[in-house]
Structures are given as C-alpha cells and as structure tokens.
C-alpha cells in the first residue's frame, strides 16, 4: 500500500494555494478549478455521491509534495467555517510533512497565515545520536499538521542511529 493523497477543506482557495506552495513548498498540479453539481460527467456524478444532492459546487486544486504525495484542496461554497479539532471524536486529526529546515519552514508557515501549536521538540533529547525533531502546526484554516525532521522510520525505529 502506498499513500496517494490527502484532501483538505479550506476557506479561501487562493490563500490555501499560496500557503501550501510558498510556506510548505508544494507544487501545483492543477490550480483552482470550479466544480459544479451536474450529472453529465463522471466527476459530477461522483461528487453528488460523495457530497450529496445540493452541494452547490466547490473550488478544487491539486498540489504535490516533493516525494509525490498529492494534497487535494477543497473550498466548498457553503462550508466556510474554521476547522476546530475535536479530540473526543474518532477520525483523522492531522497529517505530517517532513522538512530539513525547521526554522525556515516555521517562519514561512507563520508568514503565510499558519501558526505553531507548540515549541519544536526532540523525540529523544537524551540521545545525541537520535536528533529527530517535530512540531505541531496549523494552516490558516485550522487544519493541523506536524513537521518532522527525519523519516517516520528514523523517528520511531528502536535501532535508528
């Protein structure tokens, strides 16, 4: 199994594309495109199945991380509220990106409307041979994400050095 993409709800497509490209370095595959409710195309029928009758349309953009994972942005016409994570509910509550430059990435996130939710921390502060760092942040719409300095395997493997 491979990760293909994630889908995020955003409140302003232009701001979201700017944030994810300029703050986090993602590349645009398909820029802001309008999708309307219709039954003539496969995408139109699929959207009705997913979002239900009367979804009123949305804007969509497709971005790509440097390792080829897609980030699909949705700006629904009638869902403009800021995302609030409810930690008592089941479901996905964040995604994670990896960067080699925490300081610059954090500064860019804040410059383009995101924010840090905590200070940078090391997973193994007692072991200088395990320098993996992380931080929880959020985009301008409240979507939580983590930044890692190392791969998932390097961060958690008991024999990583």
Q: Is the per-residue pLDDT at 83 higher than 80?
A: no
Q: Looking at 79, 94, 117, which one is the last position of a domain?
A: 79
Tell me what pLDDT residue 18 has.
Answer: 98
CA distance 42 to 49: 11
In this predicted model, what pLDDT tens digit does every residue of 45-80 receive, in sequence order?
999 999 888 888 899 999 999 999 999 999 998 766
pLDDT of residue 158 exceeding 80, the answer is no
Residue 19's pLDDT band, with cuts at 50, 70 and 90, is very high
Strands 144-148 and 115-116: unpaired
Give how many domains the chain has, as a whole number.
Answer: 2
Do 73 and 5 contact (CB within 8 A), yes or no? no
Same domain flag for 75 and 87:
no
- Whole domain around residue 137: which residue ranges? 82-161
Q: What DSSP letter does each residue of 40-103 carry, written as one string?
A: SSHHHHHHHHHH-TT---EEEEEEE-TTS-EEEEEEETT--SPP---TTS-S---EEEE-S-HH
CB 73 within 8 A of CB 17: yes
Q: Are 17 and 32 in contact (CB under 8 A)?
A: yes
* 27 vs 132: CA distance, rounded Å: 26
Average pLDDT of the segment spanning 146-161 = 82
Looking at the predicted structure, is the pLDDT value of residue 160 above 60?
A: no
pTM attached to this predicted model:
0.89
For 101-146, the pLDDT digits (tens) are 999 999 999 999 999 999 999 888 887 878 889 999 999 999 999 9
- The pLDDT assigned to 90 comes to 86
Q: Where among 36, 57, 79 does a domain terminate?
A: 79
The CATH number for 31's domain is: 3.30.720.120
Last residue of a domain, one of 54, 79, 104: 79
pLDDT at 129: 78
Is the separation of the CB atoms in 68 and 5 below 8 Å?
no
What does the pLDDT read at residue 103?
92
The position carrying tokens 């496969």 is: 42
CA distances from 25 to 40, 76, 105, 122, 125 (A): 36, 24, 9, 23, 28
* Top-confidence residue, 37 or 26: 26
């Amino acid at each position: 199994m491979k990760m293909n993409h994630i889908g995020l709800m955003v409140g302003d497509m232009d701001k979201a594309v700017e944030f994810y490209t300029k703050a986090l370095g993602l590349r645009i595959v398909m820029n802001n495109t309008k999708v309307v409710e219709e039954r003539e195309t496969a995408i139109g029928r699929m959207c009705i199945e997913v979002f239900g009758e009367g979804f009123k349309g949305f804007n969509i953009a497709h971005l790509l991380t440097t390792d080829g994972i897609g980030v699909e942005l949705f700006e629904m016409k009638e869902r403009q509220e800021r995302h609030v994570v409810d930690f008592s509910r089941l479901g996905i509550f964040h995604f994670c990106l990896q960067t080699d430059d925490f300081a610059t990435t954090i500064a860019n996130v804040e410059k383009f409307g995101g924010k840090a939710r905590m200070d940078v921390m090391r997973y193994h502060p007692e072991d200088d041979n395990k320098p993996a760092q992380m931080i929880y942040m959020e985009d301008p719409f409240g979507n939580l994400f983590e930044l890692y300095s190392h791969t998932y395997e390097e961060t958690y493997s008991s024999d990583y050095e």
